[in-house]
Amino acid sequence: MAAPGVDNSNNVRWMGGYFAGEGANGTCGYWIKVDQNERIIDRMVIKDTWDTASTKEPPEYQGIYQDLVNKGLDVSDFPGAALPSERFYKEAYIQGLLTDPSGVNTAYTVPLRGYKRFDETDDARGTHWRIYMDYMQAGDLHDVLVYNDFRADVNGVNRFIDIPVAEAFIWWIMECLANALIQMETVARNRPNARVQQDEAIVMLDLKPENILLDSIRGPHYPVYPKPMVADFGSAIITYLDDPDNEDKSASESTTAGYEAPEMFQLTEEDFGDDYDRYIEGPVHSYTNIWQIGRLVETLMRLGKKDPDGTLAANPIQISAIATNSITSSMHVKPKTPMIDTRRKISWIISTITHLSTTVV
């Protein structure tokens, strides 16, 4: 994959750098590739980030870099030559591991096109990284929530009117996200140099509507709806139940209030003054991913619904700030319990949410 500005063969060129979004540690730009007739023939997003984490490859991630090189995802000036002490960027490693270069039709996570490290560093911001990704033309689930939640009345006065999300679309979202979670388990356990533990999984610690992108590729079962794709692996980790880092609460990742599973814990500013971070209580595992899917689906289901007292259910912003007892009590798997197959857990979540839909009329 050639980076923008490099692939000028056959009179084609990359144009762009248009602002597409930003986060705590970086920005995303939108790029298009045009032919000699100025027709768009490709699109992608470039994410520039700064990371203070070590660039030294941890033992548990060894072997992944070579997998990325084999897939053509190291787009540095000297692909495949980066030293173990300078090449590790967790977000790119995990996203690239999940990327199947043979095609995106079977993908349920946003494919990585490449990543590279820049020489420039900053004492405060860390190392400058760049990752290249497919562009998802249909937005994200947050856009769906906002579109269905906000309307203007006949007098032009803006007001909230919750409009239910189509049931078929919700089922399609559940199917795609369930397949994504199964892929995260399978890929983690079959990756190069996988650890001897048999219960490794990629755990997402910040699954929220903004991180579920919508692709223009349509699915065979629900052809009128875009395909949900899991994105943003900056807060993802590869772990297992007895992983020392999982047990001693040393995992520190970004999470979002309202979408935190019960085993996820956030220290507050009152605990440690201004110098504090978010820590995971753990241990986290596949059930953490499943709980977050339940939260996403619940948020979609409650649009346009009424609570038992007849009042309109909370809008998405309010929902993200509360913990629903039915989801919390039904989907939390206590640590150290025997593992349940992910497919069985997904069946469990469907039955729980179906029960929830009968209590919100």
pLDDT, tens digit (0-9, with 9 covering 90-100), for 128-165: 999 999 999 889 998 888 777 655 555 656 555 667 88
Instruction: Report pLDDT for 162.
Output: 66
Question: Where do the CATH 1.10.510 domains begin and end in the chain?
Answer: 141-359
What is the average pLDDT across 105-123? 89
Show the DSSP H helices in 46-123 as ranges: 64-70, 90-97
Instruction: Report pLDDT for 345.
Output: 56
- Residue entry with tokens 């590790």: 88
**CATH code that applies to domain 141-359:** 1.10.510
Listing DSSP states for 313-324 in one string gives PPPHHHHTTS--
Instruction: Report pLDDT for 361.
Output: 33
Checking if the pLDDT of 280 tops 70, the result is no
What is the average pLDDT across 347-356? 53
Token pair recorded at residue 153: 């009345």
What is the average pLDDT across 68-94? 95
pLDDT digits (tens, 9 = 90+) for 14-33: 998 888 888 777 899 999 99
Q: Are 229 and 197 in contact (CB under 8 A)?
A: no
Looking at the chain, the whole-number percentage of residues with pLDDT higher than 90 is 43
- Of residues 97 and 262, more confidence is placed in 97
Instruction: Report pLDDT for 358.
Output: 45
Instruction: Report pLDDT for 342.
Output: 55
- Residue entry with tokens 């490449």: 114
* 3-state secondary structure (DSSP) of residue 329: helix
pLDDT band at 48 (very low <50, low <70, confident <90, very high): very high
pTM of the model: 0.80
Instruction: Report pLDDT for 103.
Output: 66
Instruction: Report pLDDT for 195.
Output: 85
pLDDT digits (tens, 9 = 90+) for 115-127: 999 988 888 889 9
* 3-state secondary structure (DSSP) of residue 51: strand
Token pair recorded at residue 280: 């995971």
141 closest CA partner among 106, 109, 157, 165: 165
Question: Angle formed by the axes of helices 286-302 and 167-190, to 10°?
Answer: 170
- Residue entry with tokens 């000699």: 36
- The single-letter DSSP state of residue 209 is G
- The single-letter DSSP state of residue 3 is P
First to last CA, the chain: 50
301 closest CA partner among 357, 224, 348, 236: 357
Looking at the chain, the whole-number percentage of residues with pLDDT higher than 70 is 68
Instruction: Report pLDDT for 124.
Output: 82
Q: Are 200 and 238 in contact (CB under 8 A)?
A: yes
- Of residues 48 and 281, more confidence is placed in 48
- Range with lowest mean pLDDT among 62-76, 213-227, 339-353: 339-353
Q: Which helix (H) or strand (E) holds 325?
A: helix 325-331
Token pair recorded at residue 316: 């998405």
- Residue entry with tokens 């440690």: 272
Torsion of CA 281, 338, 235, 247, to 10 degrees: 40
Q: Compute the half-sphere exposure of residue 150: CA atoms within 13 Å on the CB side of its CA.
A: 10
- How far apart are the C-alpha atoms of 299 and 327, rounded to whole Å? 11
Token pair recorded at residue 275: 């110098």
- Of residues 323 and 304, more confidence is placed in 304
Instruction: Report pLDDT for 104.
Output: 56
Instruction: Report pLDDT for 267.
Output: 52
Q: Are 279 and 324 in contact (CB under 8 A)?
A: no
- Of residues 257 and 10, more confidence is placed in 257
